[in-house]
């Protein structure tokens, strides 16, 4: 009860936002105010109802538990947080987000990362998942995504619902067919109530510390984007597509020849969406320009346009892109000076169906610390969730942006 009351209090207060033309709504906090929240993620039910999930923990703890909330179209508000108890132990890593999947058969899947505690790699992680067959009222015991004992490190996963209504997942895995640095990309599907089965390796030697992106287009094509390791030290974004429901994937193709030479972990990964004009990408790089960039492909990934910068800030990162009414909404976070230190703010762009720039703005200003934005919608109502830091605790905040 105390959690529910705290959410109501925060929804009533919110945090102010300045934006010309009243294009951005007053934000509201959807996580428990007395907990440390992180890892916001947007998805939707099989009926198209928006869902936001995240992790909450006590500030003194290393691990937490997944929560989620459902949008009520009648009240135009998100309901109180719902706990998924069997996810206790989830690691709150803002790059390795826990995620939810609502299949068309009614099965709900929650996927999250935990520590692997494996002697072969002290930094290794493990991907776990749980299923609900009654709309989230009860959950199966969590089980590992990978049961092969040779697989000791799985992270940076993404999920999507396929055209036939089943679930799909991609992730980075230590099992690969080369001794070179990096991880492999694996793919699996969840059919019926069986969970994820029939895993397959798609490609080896990709950046072992960046988010992956799995996207299912309206055609049913399954797209994967990730940061590859090319020529030993170049870490650029690569795209592959399956036109046969994941049975086979095309050869990897770079979306932009950034030629970023780095022997480290950039973390921030790519994003992808599609509309009537083709595929649209956004990503972070420090090769041939610095910051967050956009490009598109009108031929399903055979060729890509020249990249365009999203922000004048060279450290703009964590871009996300989403299609609403055939238009494109992009968001990202970027550092901004504040007093004698700095904060992080959220920027956004609306682009027309063909990808040309329409308008741009700032969702938050320098007075708050806001990062890791994610996008969702209800009909033509654009929604942005992000993490805000207040008194060294994270909160999950929601905004609306007018179309």
pLDDT in tens, 274-297: 999 999 999 999 999 999 999 999
| pLDDT of 351 above 60 | yes
Q: What was the pLDDT predicted at 380? A: 92
| pLDDT of 113 above 60 | yes
* pTM, two decimal places: 0.93
- Taking all residues of the chain, what is their mean pLDDT, rounded to a whole number? 93
Place of tokens 């179209």: 73
- Enter the tokens of residue 61: 């703890």
Closest CA to 283 of 273, 293, 274, 275: 293
| pLDDT of 41 above 90 | yes
φ and ψ at 218, to 5 degrees? -60, -25
Q: How far apart are CA 273 and CA 214, in angstroms?
A: 10
| Mean pLDDT, residues 330-339 taken together | 96
Q: What was the pLDDT predicted at 5? A: 35
3-class secondary structure, 168 = strand
φ and ψ at 128, to 5 degrees? -115, 160
- Enter the tokens of residue 118: 């494996």
| pLDDT of 25 above 90 | no
DSSP letter assigned to residue 270:
-
| Mean pLDDT, residues 328-357 taken together | 97
Q: How far apart are CA 19 and CA 365, in angstroms?
A: 9
| Mean pLDDT, residues 76-84 taken together | 96
| Mean pLDDT, residues 308-324 taken together | 97
Q: How far apart are CA 289 and CA 257, in angstroms?
A: 11
3-class secondary structure, 325 = coil
| Mean pLDDT, residues 315-319 taken together | 97
Q: Return the CATH class of domain 29-401.
A: mainly beta
Q: How far apart are CA 324 and CA 53, in angstroms?
A: 20
Q: What was the pLDDT predicted at 236? A: 97
Q: Contact, 45 vs 35, CB < 8 A?
A: no
Neighbours of 51 (CB within 10 A): 20
| pLDDT of 94 above 70 | yes
Q: Report the alpha-carbon angle 397-211-88, nearest 5.
A: 60
Q: Which of 4-8, 93-97, 260-264 has the lowest mean pLDDT?
A: 4-8
| pLDDT of 101 above 60 | yes
| 224-271 pLDDT tens trace | 999 999 998 999 999 999 999 999 999 999 999 999 999 888 889 999
In angstroms, how far apart are the furthest CA atoms of the chain?
57
| pLDDT of 52 above 80 | yes
| Mean pLDDT, residues 14-25 taken together | 45
| pLDDT of 128 above 70 | yes
Q: Contact, 109 vs 127, CB < 8 A?
A: no
| pLDDT of 19 above 60 | no
H-helix segments, 101-216: none
Q: How far apart are the first and last CA of the chain?
A: 36
| Mean pLDDT, residues 119-145 taken together | 96
Q: What was the pLDDT predicted at 278? A: 98
| 166-223 pLDDT tens trace | 999 999 999 999 999 999 999 999 999 999 999 999 999 999 989 999 999 999 999 9
- Percentage with pLDDT > 90 across the chain: 88
Q: How far apart are CA 69 and CA 191, in angstroms?
A: 25
| pLDDT of 300 above 60 | yes
Q: What pLDDT band is residue 13 in, cutting at 50, 70 and 90?
A: very low
Strands, DSSP E only, in 49-132? 50-57, 65-72, 77-78, 82-84, 99-102, 108-115, 125-132
Q: What was the pLDDT predicted at 1? A: 37
Residue 66 vs residue 264, higher pLDDT: 66
Q: What pLDDT band is residue 24 in, cutting at 50, 70 and 90?
A: low
| Mean pLDDT, residues 334-341 taken together | 94
């Amino acid at each position: 009860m105390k959690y529910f009351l705290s959410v109501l209090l925060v929804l009533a207060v919110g945090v102010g936002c300045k934006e010309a033309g009243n294009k951005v709504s007053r934000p509201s906090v959807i996580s428990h105010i007395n907990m440390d929240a992180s890892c916001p993620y947007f998805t939707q039910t099989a009926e198209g109802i928006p869902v936001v999930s995240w992790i909450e923990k006590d500030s003194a703890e290393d691990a937490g538990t997944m929560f989620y909330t459902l949008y009520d179209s009648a009240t135009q508000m998100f309901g109180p947080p719902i706990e998924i108890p069997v996810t206790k132990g989830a690691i709150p890593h803002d790059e390795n987000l826990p995620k939810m999947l609502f299949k068309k058969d009614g099965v709900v899947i929650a996927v999250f990362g935990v520590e692997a505690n494996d002697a072969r790699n002290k930094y290794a992680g493990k991907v776990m998942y749980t299923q609900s067959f009654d709309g989230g009222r009860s959950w199966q015991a969590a089980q590992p995504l990978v049961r092969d004992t040779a697989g000791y490190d799985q992270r940076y996963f993404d999920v999507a619902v396929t055209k036939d209504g089943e679930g799909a997942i991609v992730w980075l895995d230590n099992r690969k067919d080369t001794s070179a640095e990096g991880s492999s990309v694996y793919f699996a599907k969840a059919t019926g109530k069986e969970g994820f089965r029939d895993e397959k390796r798609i490609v080896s030697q990709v950046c072992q510390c960046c988010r992956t992106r799995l996207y299912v287009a309206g055609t049913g094509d399954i797209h994967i984007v990730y940061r590859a390791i090319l020529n030993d030290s170049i870490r650029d974004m690569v795209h592959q597509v399956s036109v046969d429901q994941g049975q086979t994937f095309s050869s990897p193709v770079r979306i932009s020849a950034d030629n970023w030479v780095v022997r480290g972990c950039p973390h921030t990964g790519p994003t992808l969406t599609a509309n009537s004009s083709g595929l649209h990408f956004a990503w972070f790089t420090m090769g041939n320009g610095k910051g967050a960039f956009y490009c598109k492909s009108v031929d399903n990934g055979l060729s890509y346009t020249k990249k365009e910068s999203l922000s004048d800030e060279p450290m703009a990162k964590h871009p996300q892109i989403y299609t609403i009414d055939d238009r494109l909404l992009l968001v990202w976070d970027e550092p901004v000076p504040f007093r004698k230190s700095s904060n992080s703010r959220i920027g956004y762009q609306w682009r027309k169906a063909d990808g040309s720039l329409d308008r741009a703005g700032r969702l938050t200003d320098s007075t708050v610390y806001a990062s890791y934005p994610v996008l969702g919608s209800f009909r033509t109502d654009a929604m942005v969730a992000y993490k805000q830091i207040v008194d060294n605790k994270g909160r999950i905040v929601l905004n609306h942006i007018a179309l």
